[in-house]
Amino acid sequence: MTDLQTLAVPAAVDRASELLARMTLEEKLAQIVGFWEKGDGEVVAPLQGEFTREQTLDEAMQHGLGHLTRVYGTRPVDAAERATWLWNLQRRLVRGTRLGIPALVHEECLTGLSAWRAATFPTPLAWGASFDPDLVEQMGEAIGGSMRTLGIHQGLAPVLDVIRDPRWGRVDECIAEDPYVVGTIGTSYVRGLQSTGVHATLKHFVGYSGSQSGRNFAPVHAGPREVEDVLLVPFEMALLDGGARSVMSSYNEIDGVPVAADPRLLTGVLRDRWGFDGPVVADYFGVAFLHLLHEVAGDLGEAAGLALAAGVDIELPTGDAYLAPLAEAVRTGRVDEALVDRAVLRALRQKDELGLLDATFDDEPPTTVDLDSPVHRGLAAQLAEESVVLLSNDGTLPLGHAGRVAVIGPNADRAEALFGCYSFLNHVLAHHPEAEVGFESPTVRQALAAELPTAEIVTAVGCAVDDDDRSGFGEAVRAAASAEVAVLVVGDHAGLFGRGTVGEGCDRDDLELPGVQRELVEAVLDSGTPVVLVLLTGRPYAIDWALDRCAAVVQAFFPGEEGGTAVAGVLSGRVNPSGHLPVSMPRSAGAQPFTYLHPQLGGNGDVTNLRSTPALPFGHGLSYTTFAHTDLEVDAQVPTDGHIGASVRVTNTGDRPGADVVQLYAHDVVGSVTRPVAQLVGYRRVHLEAGESAVLTFSVPTTRLAFSDRDLVRVVEPGAVELWVGPSCAERETEARITLTGPVHQVGVDSPRWTTVSVTG
């Protein structure tokens, strides 16, 4: 165990090492677990009810405390009052325990700080639809500012899982099906959050989204090349380029080995290859699951030993395995205490980095806190507007001066439909119906009435999100028939573990609209009134049948507290839609899993009778103006270890201002292993006035074309590469060809990963 001892006590003894040397075993274990102060019925984590709270808070604090779990995000509590409680608790730890070490407070922050009355931003799938990493960084900074004010040190976000199957319930927590988009936008969120002094936690490392049949917790059958070239890429970017300070291990197994017990990933990749020196935290109850669900450990003590050896430093949300079971395993010699020391050292160094080892909490907590300030709402509104995707339009939109509008559907007048699974409203308030929401969130109906003050708005629900009651169809059809246009708002309800149509543990075995919503749409279409279909969802659904029949189709991925206003703005024409699909729109569940990053034989061809193309491709998105992409110019030859220079002209050819997402794609013509038919290598959102042009210049590191060769070495190979710009991955509006020259280039961690883009008039 010499190597472990060396890790635990480095030559240059720092403050954390000095503390470690003074600790008893009980004090060590206290630093690598969390404590969750919660009541019965507050179920916001998987299988939470299977665990009993064996400790009171006083008992948990006896030897110190590593983490406090979800102080603000477990129930609706007044933030200022809870801050007073937290400051008093931290003072007790500083003044009343032998070593005087405060607890690190962590909280969920996927769509904003998970706290009562806090701003709720669009879900990450909407971040991807915006293709605006700069705005996401600003949002992260705003969220981090709220957290820091309330004494929160670590946020459990962003989710960097690459979407592999839309049937999976947690798709709304993910950013895109393209690893580069996930990496750039996720890294931007990390930078924003950490600029305020709050540590971001990358999750779920790794492979969680590649689960069998899109089922939560299901085995992952990804090969090592898919893991390396797709699933690991966003984590590499967020760690090496974004400096993320924490990582969360995932629940899943990959090829039979649970990630939480896999040192090849948690130590070999994270630490040995990438040099990560921060703590790895377990996803909630993930250590215990090694015994209870994966059955690779005979008891909780053995599970603790496996997780520590792999590199899981901190057990969250509580110490089910890392307290009494681990103590017994250490004392009986089943687990080397040096493994505990290694984890404790990482935990203490994180606290030192956050200033907690010097914190006295002699200051006073905030007495008033505005968690939904005008700045928050402004960012929420802008991100919501940029994320709305216009899928189709026959000219019916924008509505303009419509006289009588029917607003129909289960999500037309339901605020919950605007929020994802990890929003406080759907994640926590669903268990507390007595509590008010705490902030304004106009529904689509309310917002559209405000957008069209001279229009007569008639409404009907039609049906619920997810039952088989068709009794409201008649009223909905009559409302549509009486109007000039029908706005039909359908989609999802986000929830947990089967209590929603999407969300954690809410997976699908089909991709039809839930319940009888398709039947409602078809009934309203039969009225003869033009139908504008609005989708408020957490995943893409198979709505190819509606694209031709509806006058227009608008997709909004849980757009947050300002989402109803953003959608209404798009419908009225106040907002020119500029979102683009971060995930392909499927045709059927039977075609899943699907990604645009497929090789030649992953698409259509004469060798199969089944059509595999999506209803709409990755990158698709319409506008009320039009854009032309011309004059793509590229370097003729580029060394395999260089940068590809490319420039393209984009022109707003319509009659109103708008924003375009310019997308640069590449295809490696011949590779030593099969390569995708299209791969996004650069993108940039650009705003243009009517008739205005701009030239975008891309500098693409050749490492954007890197892949794992037959020996699983990341390389860039010489040869021909096709490049093109178009409105999606499927259309080549202007194209060119280059040749990569020189020897095969092996890619290292110091290699560039980002494409830079400049814009000139």
pLDDT of residue 8: 42
- What CATH homologous superfamily does 384-602 map to? Glycoside hydrolase family 3 C-terminal domain (3.40.50.1700)
Q: Please compute the mean of the pLDDT values over residues 344-358 and round it to a whole number.
A: 98
Q: What are the b/e assignments for 149-171, b being 16+ CB within 10 Å?
A: bbbbbbbbbbbbbbbbbbbbbbb
pLDDT of residue 10: 45
Res. 47: pLDDT tops 70: no
pLDDT of residue 402: 84
- For the chain, the domains span 27-39+49-358, 384-602, 627-760
**Among residues of the chain, what percentage have pLDDT more than 90?**
92
pLDDT of residue 12: 45
Q: What is the pLDDT of residues 706-741, one digit of tens each?
A: 999 999 999 999 999 999 999 999 999 999 999 999
Q: What is the pLDDT of residues 530-576, one digit of tens each?
A: 999 999 999 999 999 999 999 999 999 999 999 999 999 999 999 99
pLDDT of residue 5: 38
Q: What is the pLDDT of residues 473-515, one digit of tens each?
A: 999 999 999 999 999 999 999 999 999 999 999 999 999 999 9
How many Å is the maximal CA-CA distance in the chain?
A: 81
Q: Please compute the mean of the pLDDT values over residues 329-346 and round it to a whole number.
A: 98
| Matching CATH number, 27-39+49-358, of 3.10.129.10, 3.40.1790.10, 3.20.20.300, 3.30.565.10 | 3.20.20.300
Residue 1: pLDDT band by 50, 70, 90 thresholds?
very low
Q: Please compute the mean of the pLDDT values over residues 128-143 and round it to a whole number.
A: 98
At position 551, the amino acid (one-letter code) is A
pLDDT of residue 401: 83
- What CATH homologous superfamily does 627-760 map to? Immunoglobulins (2.60.40.10)
Res. 43: pLDDT tops 70: no
pLDDT of residue 2: 33
Asked if 506 contacts 515 with a C-beta cutoff of 8 angstroms, the reply is no
Least confident among 4-8, 644-648, 683-687: 4-8
Res. 6: pLDDT tops 70: no
Q: Please compute the mean of the pLDDT values over residues 104-127 and round it to a whole number.
A: 98
Res. 308: pLDDT tops 60: yes
Res. 143: pLDDT tops 70: yes
Beta pairing class for 679-688 and 485-491: unpaired
Q: What is the pLDDT of residues 145-171, one digit of tens each?
A: 999 999 999 999 999 999 999 999 999
pLDDT of residue 676: 97
Residue 761: pLDDT band by 50, 70, 90 thresholds?
confident
E runs forming strands in 243-286? 246-249, 253-254, 257-258, 280-282
Residue 38: pLDDT band by 50, 70, 90 thresholds?
confident
Q: Please compute the mean of the pLDDT values over residues 186-210 and round it to a whole number.
A: 98
Residues 6+ apart with CB under 8 A from 122: 111, 130, 380, 383, 384, 387, 557, 558, 559, 560, 563
Of 159, 165, 264, the closest CA to residue 211 belongs to: 165
Res. 242: pLDDT tops 70: yes
* Distance (Å, whole) CA 658 – CA 652: 8
Q: What is the pLDDT of residues 424-433, one digit of tens each?
A: 999 999 999 9
Q: What integer best gives the mean pLDDT of the chain?
A: 95
Of 442, 390, 695, 408, the closest CA to residue 547 belongs to: 390
Dihedrals phi, psi of 331, to nearest 5 degrees: -70, -25
* Distance (Å, whole) CA 229 – CA 704: 10
pTM above 0.85, yes or no: yes
Residue 93: pLDDT band by 50, 70, 90 thresholds?
very high
How many other C-beta atoms can be found within 10 angstroms of the C-beta atom of residue 528? 9
pLDDT of residue 48: 62
* Distance (Å, whole) CA 85 – CA 188: 33
Asked if 314 contacts 260 with a C-beta cutoff of 8 angstroms, the reply is no
pLDDT of residue 46: 65
